[in-house]
Amino acid sequence: MEWLFDFLVQAETSNLKTAHYPKEYDTFKMKVSFGQGASARVPWISFYADGMSTSNGYYPVYLFFKDAKKLILSYGVSESNDFGKSWRDDILDGAPRIQEVLENPPRYGASWIFKSYEIDQVNGKAVPYSNGKPVSQNELESDLKAILKKFNSNLDDSLQQKDSPLSAGLFFMEKQLEDFIIDNWATSELGQKYDLIYEEGVLVSQQYRTSIGPIDILAKDKTTGNYVVIELKRNQTSDDTVGQISRYMGWVSENLNDKHVKGIIIAGKYDEKLHYAQALIDSIEVQLYEVKFTLRQHARQL
């Protein structure tokens, strides 16, 4: 986390450049700002998920109140737009708002405090303190990972609610993704390794029927002939996704007589919960999808 110490030192200068800072931390996007055109009174580092931005969302954020010499790791909320979803009450658990602790904060007073550090500059280096004692880099990293874990939990909850902006964007893409995968099977990485299943010339791989529900896509390994259960992580938790694909794999093993069936989870975001949920199941892997858009100028017809 050397970037945090660099951030604190640079915040006391007129240098607004941020290109040298990481663009991601853990599984989240990371953005640094010292202001636009002029130095901000409260420079920040935010960590956010797909479907959010620092001007439209809720997210963990470091806020450096330069005049007060305080660095606050905050349950942040955007000031520009109402995202329609925020931190759960049980996560905030009585955390004070910044405006309740700092007198007349220039900005971000409505955000909540997770951790607060006093900052001293010693020989050109930033030294954070808490309760009068220096805070080590390991402690800072532990604090950041703790709030990111809470953020992950809040995101899982958000994805359960189909009316949330984050859920609506991902759910729309996932509804189209299954058809897209099937339509582009021959040119995809999946199509290079696995075959779709046809019966009497009719595709049966998509929404393959079982007695416990339809499998999103059932394919067969080109080399071994073993079945491959492919499931999209939709509006559900990571635990539910792993449990669901495991049930389908069990059904295939017993009813299609394949003891070496494999599972693939296709997700829009590889979160920590999904990692641990499938970590000890060697026969399940996770693949991420990316959506890319290309703009081209329309040629006017004369």
pLDDT of res. 237: 63
pLDDT of res. 167: 52
Same structural domain, 15 and 70: yes
Domain boundary among 143, 160, 177: 160
Lowest-pLDDT range of 44-53, 169-178, 223-232: 169-178
Domain boundary among 103, 134, 160: 160
- The predicted-structure confidence for 188-236, as pLDDT tens digits, reads as follows 889 999 999 988 778 889 889 999 889 999 999 999 999 999 988 765 5
CA distances from 273 to 204, 237, 264 (A): 32, 9, 16
182-213: burial string, b at 16+ Cβ within 10 Å, e else: beebeeeebbeebebbeeeeeeebbebeeeee
Same structural domain, 121 and 70: yes
Residues paired with 59 in a beta bridge: 76
Considering all CA atoms of the chain, what is the largest pairwise distance in Å, rounded to the nearest integer? 77
Amino acid, res. 79: E
Same structural domain, 126 and 176: no
In a domain, 249, yes or no: yes
For the chain, how many helices (H) and strands (E)?
A: 8, 16
Same structural domain, 243 and 278: yes
- The predicted-structure confidence for 55-73, as pLDDT tens digits, reads as follows 778 999 999 999 999 999 9
Residue partners of 146: CB distance under 8 A and separation at least 6: 114
- The predicted-structure confidence for 71-86, as pLDDT tens digits, reads as follows 999 999 987 667 778 8
Name the domain count of the chain. 2
Say yes or no to pLDDT of 46 above 70: yes
Q: What percent of the chain stands above pLDDT 70?
A: 79
The whole domain housing 204 covers: 165-288
DSSP 8-state secondary structure symbol assigned to residue 87: -
Asked if 218 contacts 205 with a C-beta cutoff of 8 angstroms, the reply is yes
State the CATH number of the domain containing residue 61.
3.30.920.90
Domain boundary among 160, 190, 205: 160
pLDDT of res. 270: 57
In a domain, 294, yes or no: no
In a domain, 55, yes or no: yes
Say yes or no to pLDDT of 268 above 70: no
Smallest CA-to-CA distance from 72 within 81, 55, 60 is with 60
In a domain, 293, yes or no: no
Same structural domain, 122 and 212: no
Asked if 67 contacts 82 with a C-beta cutoff of 8 angstroms, the reply is no
Say yes or no to pLDDT of 159 above 70: no
Q: DSSP of 13-58, one letter per residue?
A: SS----TTS-SEETTEEEEEES-SSS--SS-EEEEE-TT-BTTBSE
Asked if 32 contacts 18 with a C-beta cutoff of 8 angstroms, the reply is yes
